[in-house]
């Protein structure tokens, strides 16, 4: 264990596997107190035990199902009960579905898990992040945001649905949220960035069916390991050379332009308002 992040507290969502697990372990190895989020209690317990051993750091588990807004609220409350400071929030949890499905709250599942859950969680933890400034928020987005067209009036994909379109829409929303939040947090000492970690072999596409299945099989030939995929997240969460950088989308390690809808401030505001309404934020 080293001491680059000694005295700092980090929350990494979706950290029982893949790039989230690697990121959590590395932040703990660097001296941070790391809250590891997962959905499955047994898997969460095993991950915490493993990361404590491999990192030699302070690792704790926090459970929530991002398909439930009540669970997200409970997660925020638990984090607040455990600490009065939060220096790093890595919004990594996400997934893809094989067909249109609804969350416990009756919201299209990909939207609920990939965008609304981190939107709500971040907002509920903003006071902790501001109190801990300088603090960082890292949103895991994707080059998949370039897939299809973005329709602010069909956030729940009721008019037409495909697995890739739904996923790509939420990754666009992650980027729009990043740009909007960076503007709202200006001067607070809290920065927010978005990152495409690469096409990582995390298993989220394993259940793909129909026309998506052969596409996924081809994609798997070009996927990188979770260790390589986590590297850009770890850098944005900890490196001194990105201190103060905010509102930027990274394609792995380099800033990159995004599709035009993500840069539209009026559209960002509409997404914020629609998201706040769906999650019950005033």
CB 96 within 8 Å of CB 205: yes
Question: Would you call 167 a catalytic residue per the annotation?
Answer: yes
Q: How far apart are CA 162 and CA 168, in angstroms?
A: 10
Q: How far apart are CA 142 and CA 199, in angstroms?
A: 8
Q: How far apart are CA 151 and CA 20, in angstroms?
A: 29
Catalytic residue among 161, 167, 249, 250, which? 167
107, 123, 206, 230, 234 from 278: Cα distances, Å: 8, 14, 29, 31, 31
- The 3-class SS string of 62-129 reads EECCCCCHHHHHHHHHHHHHHCCCCCEEEECCCCCCCCCCECCCCCEHHHHHHHHHHHHHHHHHHHHH
Residues 135-144 as b/e (b if ≥16 CB within 10 A, e otherwise) read: bbbbbbbbbb
Residues carrying an active site annotation? 167
């Amino acid at each position: 264990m080293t001491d680059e992040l000694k005295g700092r507290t980090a929350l990494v969502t979706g950290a029982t596997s893949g790039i989230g697990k690697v990121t959590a372990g590395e932040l703990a190895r660097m001296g941070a107190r790391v809250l590891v989020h997962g959905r499955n209690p047994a898997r969460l317990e095993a991950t915490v035990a493993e990361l404590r051993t491999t990192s030699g750091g302070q690792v704790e588990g926090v459970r929530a199902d991002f398909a439930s807004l009540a669970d997200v609220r409970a997660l925020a409350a638990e984090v607040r009960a455990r600490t009065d400071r939060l220096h790093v929030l890595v919004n990594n949890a996400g997934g893809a579905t094989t067909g249109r499905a609804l969350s416990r709250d009756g919201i299209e599942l990909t939207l609920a898990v990939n965008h609304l859950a981190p939107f709500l969680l971040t907002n509920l933890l903003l006071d902790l992040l501001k109190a801990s400034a300088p603090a960082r928020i890292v949103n895991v987005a994707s080059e998949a945001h370039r897939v299809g067209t973005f329709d602010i009036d069909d956030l729940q994909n009721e008019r037409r649905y495909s697995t890739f379109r739904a996923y790509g829409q939420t990754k666009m929303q992650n980027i729009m949220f990043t740009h909007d939040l960076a503007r709202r947090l200006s001067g607070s000492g809290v920065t927010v960035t978005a990152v495409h970690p690469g096409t990582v072999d995390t298993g989220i596409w394993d259940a793909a069916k129909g026309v998506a299945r052969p596409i996924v099989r081809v994609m798997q030939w070009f996927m990188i390991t979770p260790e390589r995929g986590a590297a850009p997240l770890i850098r944005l969460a900890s490196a001194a050379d990105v201190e103060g950088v905010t509102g930027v989308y990274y394609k792995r390690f380099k800033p990159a332009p995004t599709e035009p809808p993500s840069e539209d401030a009026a559209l960002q505001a509409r997404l914020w308002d629609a998201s706040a309404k769906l999650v019950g934020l005033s």
